[in-house]
Amino acid sequence: VNTSAFGKSGFELAENLRKNNAECEFCDRDFVVMMVTPENSDGDLEAVKRAFVSHDKTDGKSVAPITALPVFVLPEKRLSVRQAVFCSSESIPVENSVGRVAASPAVACPPAVPVVISGEIINESTVEIMKYYGTEYVRVVAE
């Protein structure tokens, strides 16, 4: 669910869901992901509905996203995925990773689409996107 439609972040809606005895599978600034199964009761779905309704701060108006996603600049490939995965690697803070080669994919919550994949050079754009999604460390090929 794109939470900007409610005028709040995914983190805030996830907390509101928790207060209503419902737990999401994943949340970030813009989305919450929930999985509904045949095992969920009508009461479970009512709890989710209460959380969404009490969370809506838009008064029925359309709202722009809370924050703009950084612009994605396609990373340059330096190594094959295989080469990068089997190289010696180290974990470093995302903000120190510009110019380094990713050793493993950087993804907020698998199976999401990774920001960079093994073998790509991390650029300023990919760092901003990783920070946007709360990634603090990234595994890079050791120098």
The domain total for the chain is 2
Residue 14 lies in a domain: yes
Boundaries of domain holding 127: 81-141
Mean pLDDT for all residues in the chain: 87
The answer to the question of residue 21 being in a domain is yes
Instruction: Examine residue 45 and state whether it is found in any structural domain, yes or no.
Output: yes
- For residue 7, name the pLDDT band (cuts at 50, 70, 90): confident
pTM of the predicted structure, to 2 decimals? 0.70
Q: Indicate if 87 and 135 belong to the same structural domain.
A: yes
Q: Is residue 100 part of a domain?
A: yes
Q: Supply the DSSP string of the chain, one letter for each residue.
A: -BGGGGTS-HHHHHHHHHHTT---SEE-SSBEE----TT--HHHHHHHHHHHHHH--STT-----SSPPPPP-PPPB-S-HHHHHHS-EEEEEGGG-TTPBBSS-B-SSTTSPPSB-TTBBP-HHHHHHHHHTT--EEEEE--
Query: Is 86 found in the same domain as 46?
Result: no
Q: Is residue 70 part of a domain?
A: no
The answer to the question of residue 61 being in a domain is no
Mean of pLDDT values over 53-80: 74
Q: Tens digit of pLDDT for each residue in 13-58? A: 899 889 888 889 988 888 899 998 999 899 888 888 888 777 666 5
Task: Determine, yes or no, domain membership for 133.
Answer: yes
List the CATH number of the domain containing 106: 3.90.100.10
Q: Does 63 have pLDDT greater than 70?
A: no
Same domain, 51 and 85: no
